[in-house]
A and B are shown apart, each in its own frame.
Chain A
Amino acid sequence: MTRAIPPSIPILDSDIQDFADMSAALTGFQSSVLKPALDPVGLAREYYIFAVTQVGGTAMTTLLNAYRAIKAQTARQIADTLLETSGSSPSPQAQLAQSIVAMWYLGAWYVPGVLGGGGFAPPPLQVISSAAYTNGLVWRVMQSHPMGYSPFTFGYWSQVPAPLSSFGVNTGNGGGQ
Chain B
Amino acid sequence: MRRLIIIIAAALLVTVRPQTPPPIVLNSMIPGDVNVTATTVSIDTFQPDFDNYSWNTFIALNWPPGSDGNGDPSKKIGQNGDNDTVWEHYRDVSNIFLPGGAKPTWNGPVQIPDVCKSLNKGNLEVVTQIGKNLLTPTVVSAMSQPFNTGPLIDQNGVFTRFQIVVNKTMFDYILANSLYSKAGQKVFTPPVNFTSGSIDNNGKTLVEGAIMVKAAWKVIAPADKARFHSEDVLVYSPASANPKYPARCTLKTVGLVGMHIGHKTQSAPQWLWSTFEHVDNVPTDADVKSGKLKAKYNYYDPKCKTCPVNQIPPRPWDPTKISAFHSQIVRMNQFNLPIYANSAAARNATAQQLLRGVNPKSVWANYQLISTMWPTDPKQPFGAPAPTFLANTTLETYIQGMVPNVSSNCIECHNNATITVPVPSDFTYVLQRAQ
Give the interface SS of chain A, mostly helix, strand, loop or mixed. loop
Contact yes or no, B415 A153, CB < 8 A:
yes
- Let me know if B386 is at the binding interface, CB within 8 A: yes
Contact yes or no, B405 A36, CB < 8 A:
no
In the assembled complex, the CB of B376 is this many whole angstroms from the nearest CB of chain A, namely 4
In the assembled complex, the CB of A16 is this many whole angstroms from the nearest CB of chain B, namely 13
B388: nearest chain-A partner, CB-CB:
A40
Contact yes or no, A151 B381, CB < 8 A:
yes
List residues of A (138-177) whose CB comes within 8 Å of B's CBs: 148-149, 151-156
- Let me know if A8 is at the binding interface, CB within 8 A: no
- Let me know if B286 is at the binding interface, CB within 8 A: no
Which B residues are CB-close (under 8 A) to A1? 336, 402
List residues of A (11-63) whose CB comes within 8 Å of B's CBs: 36-42
Which A residues are CB-close (under 8 A) to B376? 36, 38-40
In the assembled complex, the CB of A88 is this many whole angstroms from the nearest CB of chain B, namely 40
In the assembled complex, the CB of B278 is this many whole angstroms from the nearest CB of chain A, namely 27
In the assembled complex, the CB of B390 is this many whole angstroms from the nearest CB of chain A, namely 11
- Let me know if A65 is at the binding interface, CB within 8 A: no
B41: nearest chain-A partner, CB-CB:
A37
Contact yes or no, A154 B424, CB < 8 A:
yes
In the assembled complex, the CB of A52 is this many whole angstroms from the nearest CB of chain B, namely 19
B422: nearest chain-A partner, CB-CB:
A155
Measured in the bound complex, the distance between the Cα atoms of B376 and A151 in whole Å is 14
Q: State the interface size on chain A (CB cutoff 8 A).
A: 21
Which A residues are CB-close (under 8 A) to B387? 40
List residues of B (380-420) whose CB comes within 8 Å of A's CBs: 380-382, 384-388, 402-405, 412, 415-418
- Let me know if A86 is at the binding interface, CB within 8 A: no
Contact yes or no, B43 A38, CB < 8 A:
yes
Measured in the bound complex, the distance between the Cα atoms of B175 and A41 in whole Å is 39
Contact yes or no, B424 A134, CB < 8 A:
no
Measured in the bound complex, the distance between the Cα atoms of B336 and A130 in whole Å is 12
Which A residues are CB-close (under 8 A) to B416? 154
Q: Indicate which residue in B382, B418, B422 contacts A151 across the interface (CB closer than 8 Å).
A: B382
Measured in the bound complex, the distance between the Cα atoms of B423 and A149 in whole Å is 19
Contact yes or no, B336 A42, CB < 8 A:
yes
- Let me know if B12 is at the binding interface, CB within 8 A: yes
Measured in the bound complex, the distance between the Cα atoms of B246 and A70 in whole Å is 76
Contact yes or no, A149 B405, CB < 8 A:
yes
Contact yes or no, A38 B337, CB < 8 A:
no
In the assembled complex, the CB of B344 is this many whole angstroms from the nearest CB of chain A, namely 15
A38-B377 contact, Cβ under 8 Å, with A153-B415, A154-B416: yes
In the assembled complex, the CB of B108 is this many whole angstroms from the nearest CB of chain A, namely 32
- Let me know if B8 is at the binding interface, CB within 8 A: yes
Contact yes or no, A149 B418, CB < 8 A:
no
In the assembled complex, the CB of A6 is this many whole angstroms from the nearest CB of chain B, namely 18
Contact yes or no, B388 A41, CB < 8 A:
yes
A38-B388 contact, Cβ under 8 Å, with A1-B336, A153-B381, A154-B416: no
Chain B 35-55 interface mask (CB, 8 Å, partner A; 1/0): 000000111001000000000
Contact yes or no, A38 B418, CB < 8 A:
no
Q: Indicate which residue in B42, B336, B404, B423 contacts A155 across the interface (CB closer than 8 Å).
A: B423
Contact yes or no, A38 B42, CB < 8 A:
yes
Measured in the bound complex, the distance between the Cα atoms of B348 and A107 in whole Å is 37
A40-B384 contact, Cβ under 8 Å, with A2-B337, A131-B404, A154-B416: yes
Which B residues are CB-close (under 8 A) to A152? 381
Give the most central of A38, A130, A133, A155: most B CB within 10 Å: A38
Contact yes or no, B384 A154, CB < 8 A:
no
In the assembled complex, the CB of A64 is this many whole angstroms from the nearest CB of chain B, namely 22
Contact yes or no, A38 B46, CB < 8 A:
yes
Q: Indicate which residue in B377, B386, B404 contacts A149 across the interface (CB closer than 8 Å).
A: B404
Which B residues are CB-close (under 8 A) to A42? 336-337
Contact yes or no, B41 A38, CB < 8 A:
yes
B402: nearest chain-A partner, CB-CB:
A1
Measured in the bound complex, the distance between the Cα atoms of B415 and A149 in whole Å is 12
Which A residues are CB-close (under 8 A) to B386? 38, 40
In the assembled complex, the CB of A45 is this many whole angstroms from the nearest CB of chain B, namely 10
Which B residues are CB-close (under 8 A) to A151? 380-382, 412
A2-B422 contact, Cβ under 8 Å, with A40-B43, A148-B405: no
In the assembled complex, the CB of B207 is this many whole angstroms from the nearest CB of chain A, namely 24
In the assembled complex, the CB of B171 is this many whole angstroms from the nearest CB of chain A, namely 23
A152: nearest chain-B partner, CB-CB:
B381
Which B residues are CB-close (under 8 A) to A155? 422-424
Contact yes or no, A130 B385, CB < 8 A:
no
A39: nearest chain-B partner, CB-CB:
B43
Give the most central of A131, A148, A149, A154: most B CB within 10 Å: A154
Measured in the bound complex, the distance between the Cα atoms of B11 and A36 in whole Å is 12
Measured in the bound complex, the distance between the Cα atoms of B382 and A148 in whole Å is 15
Chain B 7-45 interface mask (CB, 8 Å, partner A; 1/0): 010001000000000000000000000000000011100
Measured in the bound complex, the distance between the Cα atoms of B382 and A153 in whole Å is 8
Contact yes or no, A40 B337, CB < 8 A:
yes
Query: Could you give 27 example pairs across A and B, Cβ below 8 Å?
Result: A1-B336, A36-B384, A38-B12, A38-B46, A38-B376, A38-B377, A38-B384, A38-B386, A39-B42, A40-B43, A40-B385, A40-B386, A40-B387, A40-B388, A41-B384, A42-B336, A42-B337, A130-B402, A131-B388, A133-B404, A148-B405, A151-B382, A151-B412, A154-B416, A154-B422, A155-B424, A156-B381
Supplied contacts A41-B388, A151-B382, 13 more A-B pairs, CB within 8 Å: A2-B336, A36-B377, A38-B386, A39-B42, A39-B43, A40-B337, A41-B336, A131-B388, A151-B381, A154-B415, A154-B417, A154-B422, A155-B422
**Sorted from nearest, which 5 A-B pairs have the closest CB atoms?**
A40-B386, A38-B376, A37-B41, A151-B382, A153-B381
